[in-house]
Chain A
Amino acid sequence: MGHVFRAVIEPGFFTSSPVHVALLAGGVVALVSGVVGTFTVMRGQSYAGHALGDLSATGGAASFLAGISPLWGFAGTSVVAAGVMDMIGVRRPRGRDLATGIVRGAGLGLAALFLYWDTTRTSTTGAPITILFGSIFTIGSSMIPAIAVLSIVAVGIVAVLYRPLLLSSVSTDLAVVRGVPVRVAGALCLAAIALAVSLSAITIGAILSTALLVGPAAAALRLTSRPGLVLVWSALIGIAATWIGVLLAYDSYYWPPARQGWPVSFFVVVLIMLFYLLAQVVGGRIGRDSRNGERACSQAS
């Protein structure tokens, strides 16, 4: 038994300090993404989340130039972008919106410019990799407080607005009739999405953050219909994917061909995909039995 354990987990895993930080930060971020991501998928705002992820790359790249921590770059740009999106009414973009895509393109173009300046004008190397694909093993422990604060804010928003958001996702009219401030709630939700995306930009990168936002939530939706449980499953799946990803990346340090470790974000993303497919298979059976008893009359809708 000890052999298996040692085979799966390379020596030094539990004592390595960067690993501790990676597990802690990664876990917290996965939790936030899972929770906020559930609302994202529910409100059909997956593409907005995707766009915010890419746009945050612009901010991250700019932060290197300004010499500030990338987290503020990510968070600042994406929250501002969310505000603009909300103002111009991109509140419920079902399907691929051309305008959102164009703005994404412009943002990415800007990111390209900033990254270019990063590599030529600053002394930091590997800025593109860090921004686009994450740097979970090099998160300084000094970033932990900032991550904690932003996480609390993001989760706090959806916790406080839990019921109003559920209701307004089903029907804005019903929500308005009950007195829910629908516009404000929607704007705040978008802001929470922006924060979640920025946080996962740190761990797995701006371009890949969508996976952590949407994947676990989509998987959880297959497993249960109870809103509270979906949130729990979503967070758990995200955390599992992140932790196992960290483990595998650590283990892969001596793997071929380059013997410098495979990227964490690769593992996390693949694991999320696997969990999603697994949920499809498992959930397919559960979904069909979600009613107790038969329908009283089969009606043509």
Chain B
Amino acid sequence: MTMTRQPGTQESAATPDALAVDGVSVRLGGREVLQDVRFSIKPGEFVGLIGSNGAGKTTLLRVILGLLPASSGKVTVSTAGVGYVPQKIQLDPDMPLRARDLVGLGLDGQRYGIPFPSRARRKLVDEMLRAVDAEHIGNARVGNLSGGEQQRILIAHALISRPGLLLLDEPLANLDIASEQEVVALLGRIAREQRIAVLISAHEMNPLLPVMDRIVYMAHGRAASGPTDEVVTGERLSELYGHHVDVIHVHGRVLVVAGRGEGLDIPIEHSGAHAADGA
């Protein structure tokens, strides 16, 4: 059974990339945090950036966003805009901002001057809230929202300006299973319907398998990208990790295990928490 989702419409090779990462390396504190990362994403593709903590996922995202300079290499974004959903934001319950205000700031947070209420803007915000299923919490204070609700508002905030590329930093990390599935389904739907290129980082690939078109797998600052079937193999990943790893398929889930079975076998990604049926 293959792990690669068959996309509904095939992207032709001639469609320009939404994002092209070309030989990006980053050196921090005397250490190569990213080494020669290269991959590209086309509009409407859903790509999972998978790796354990410390593999370099957040660093890569920050370079793509322009928050961190690369020591070498180039990042080309050729879309109307980039939307970003950070993993978590610092939120005081005291912060006087409603969910709909935060979403609205996705449209014009960088504009100067006093905003005048406009019906068109309000409509857009309402639409966005509907799209992420958050209409009922539109007037709630952002600091009072649960983790999952905050996430949806952040997604709405990122999407309202109709970007061509959407980056999400570990959006599934703090969610329970039900919310996880909802967010993944939501993102998959948005990517397809609005032809947005989506790059979502996670330390487990299994929840993303249903919607992921391709994978960028990272370990020790190095990346291997391509169709999931081709990348998540024992040979490819062993090469990436620099030591032997095995890829095991169990009931439609993927387990990446280090070691040779003689002593301790160390799973690199736990899938045990997700006892759901074949993803």
Contacts and interface: CB of A to CB of B under 8 A. Distances in A.
Check whether chain A touches chain B (CB < 8 angstroms).
yes
Interface of A: 38, 41-42, 44, 159-164, 166-167, 169-171, 173-180, 218, 220-221, 224-227, 230, 287, 290-301
Nearest to A293: B136
A170 B149 contact: no
A163 B136 contact: no
B91 A170 contact: yes
B146 A298 contact: yes
B146 A173 contact: no
Contacts of A287: 141
B109 A163 contact: yes
A299 B176 contact: yes
B94 interface: yes
Given A163-B105, A170-B91, A293-B136, A225 B98 contact: yes
A27 to B, nearest CB: 21
B2 interface: no
Nearest to B178: A297
10 contacts: A44-B92, A163-B108, A170-B90, A175-B109, A225-B98, A226-B98, A227-B101, A291-B140, A295-B146, A295-B149
A299 B175 contact: yes
Contacts of A293: 136
Given A170-B89, A174-B157, A177-B84, A164 B109 contact: yes
Interface residues of B, number: 46
**A161, A164, A173, A218 pick with most chain B CB within 10 angstroms:** A173
B219 interface: no
Contacts of B109: 163-164, 166-167, 174-175, 178, 180
Interface string B148-181: 1100000001000000000000000011101100
Given A179-B110, A296-B136, 18 more contacts: A163-B108, A164-B109, A164-B112, A176-B65, A177-B67, A178-B106, A180-B109, A180-B110, A221-B94, A226-B96, A290-B140, A291-B139, A291-B140, A293-B136, A297-B178, A298-B146, A299-B146, A299-B149
Given A160-B113, A179-B110, A170 B96 contact: no
Given A173-B86, A297-B178, A163 B110 contact: yes
Nearest to B83: A177
A231 to B, nearest CB: 9
A180 B106 CA distance: 12
A166 to B, nearest CB: 6
Nearest to A164: B110
Nearest to B141: A225
Nearest to B61: A173
B47 to A, nearest CB: 19
A215 B178 CA distance: 42
Contacts of B139: 225, 290-292
Contacts of B179: 297, 299
B256 interface: no
A81 to B, nearest CB: 25
A144 to B, nearest CB: 25
B136 A291 contact: yes
Interface in B86-132: 86, 89-92, 94-98, 101-102, 105-106, 108-115
B133 interface: yes
A292 B91 CA distance: 21
Nearest to B85: A174
B7 interface: no
A163 B106 CA distance: 10
> 3 tightest CB-CB pairs across the interface, nearest first?
A301-B147, A167-B109, A293-B136
B203 to A, nearest CB: 19
B157 to A, nearest CB: 7
Given A160-B112, A226-B101, A299-B146, A173 B84 contact: yes
Contacts of B227: none
Nearest to A298: B146
A223 to B, nearest CB: 10
A96 B111 CA distance: 33
A159 B114 contact: yes
Nearest to A218: B94
Contacts of B141: 225, 287, 290
A5 B222 CA distance: 79
B59 to A, nearest CB: 13
B202 interface: no
Nearest to B92: A44
Interface in B172-192: 174-176, 178-179
Nearest to A233: B96
A38 B96 CA distance: 9
Contact of B113 (A44, A162, A226): A162
Contacts of B65: 173, 176-177
Nearest to A167: B109
Contact of A163 (B112, B142, B146): B112
Contacts of B157: 174
